[in-house]
Structure 1
Amino acid sequence: MKTKEDIEGYLIRLELPFEEVEDGLWVIHDDISHVDNIVVLYDPPIVVFRVKLMEVPTQRREEFFELLLRFNATHMIHGAYGIENGNVVIIDTLQAENLDFNEFQASVEALSLAIAQDYDTLAAFRSPTTS
């Protein structure tokens, strides 16, 4: 089983700025436009990666939700888009037991790629007052 220290070591190896906000909970501050909150949670037996992307838009919701499902099927290498408390999130989970750096890095990069690839398209659904 990988330890909290192993996960922190992986974060250091990524060479991205991060901070530990609670025991076993880190926030990666990537330089991707629009998002600065890739959260990594060590919760044995899993490691959770999560990004809050935006609020769910109030207009054209059916079209928006269909697009999220399409992105899940075509764009997501790791993880999936979801809805949590009125927000669009991207989430991925990995088993901590045999987790290696390559898997860890692939999850972070997959989230980053999804954000870079999809954010502008999704953000176009927002009304001017929705953040």
Structure 2
Amino acid sequence: MVTREDIEAFLDRLSADGASHQELEPGLWLVRPSGALEFDVVVTHNPPVVLLRVKVMPLPAEASDQAALNRRLLELNASDLLHGSYGIDQENVVLTEALELAHLDFEEFLASYESMTLSLTSHLRELAAFREAR
């Protein structure tokens, strides 16, 4: 099973591509992707899984905007996301992914991380309209 130290090593390898990370507490990291991306990925080592999570945006205030956003997020879950999914936590839209630690290797971790960051990057322009509705 992949340990906390293994996840730290995975994150160190991401740093070679320009990402930065800091451990906020044992088993909880804040990862800043490289480039002009303005979001952080929270990585949590929580056996038997590792969780990757991004706070995307607050929910719009208007119920009609929330309904339209919820529909679009479900469509994106079905069409654009391989492993992760959009969800709602309290009053925020989040993108999450969970990976089993039992047989996790760096390539699977990297694929999930890149899938999340690339998907979110391509979705942010469309979701910006809902941010402005807030």
Length-normalised TM-score, structure 2: 0.90
Describe how 1:1-131 pairs up with structure 2 within 5 A: 1-15=1-15, 16-31=19-34, 33=36, 35-59=38-62, 60-127=65-132, 130=134
Higher helix share: 2
Runs of 4+ in structure 1 over 6 Å off: none
Q: Is the 8 A contact 2:28 2:45 kept in 1?
A: yes
Contact 1:47/1:94 (<8 A) preserved: yes
What is the SS of the residue equivalent to 1:90?
Answer: strand
Give 2:55's aligned amino acid: K
Kindly state the Cα deviation for residue 107 of structure 1 after the two structures are TM-superposed.
Answer: 1.1
> 1:58 and 1:117 mapped to 2: Cα distance?
24
Identity, in percent, stands at 40
Gaps of 5+ in 2: none
Give me the whole-angstrom Cα distance separating, in 1, the residues matched to 2:76 and 2:125.
13
Distance verdict in 2 for CA 1:6–1:34, change over 3 Å = closer
Which range is displaced more, 118-127 or 63-72?
A: 118-127
Once superposed, what is the RMSD of the aligned Cα atoms? 1.4
Query: 2:39·2:56 contact (CA, 8 Å) conserved in 1?
Result: no
The answer to whether the Cα contact below 8 Å between 1:58 and 1:126 also exists between their aligned partners in 2 is no
One-letter amino acid matched to 1:19: Q
**2: distance between equivalents of 1:71 and 1:33?**
23
Tell whether the 8 Å contact from 1:32 to 1:116 is kept in structure 2 after alignment. Answer: no
Cα distance in 2 for partners of 1:126, 1:32 equals 22
Length-normalised TM-score, structure 1: 0.92
Q: CA deviation at 1:34?
A: 5.2
Does the CA-based 8 Å contact 1:46-1:94 persist in structure 2?
yes
> Distance between the aligned counterparts of 2:110 and 2:128, measured in 1?
26
- Post-superposition offset of 1:77: 1.9
Shift of 1:126: 2.4
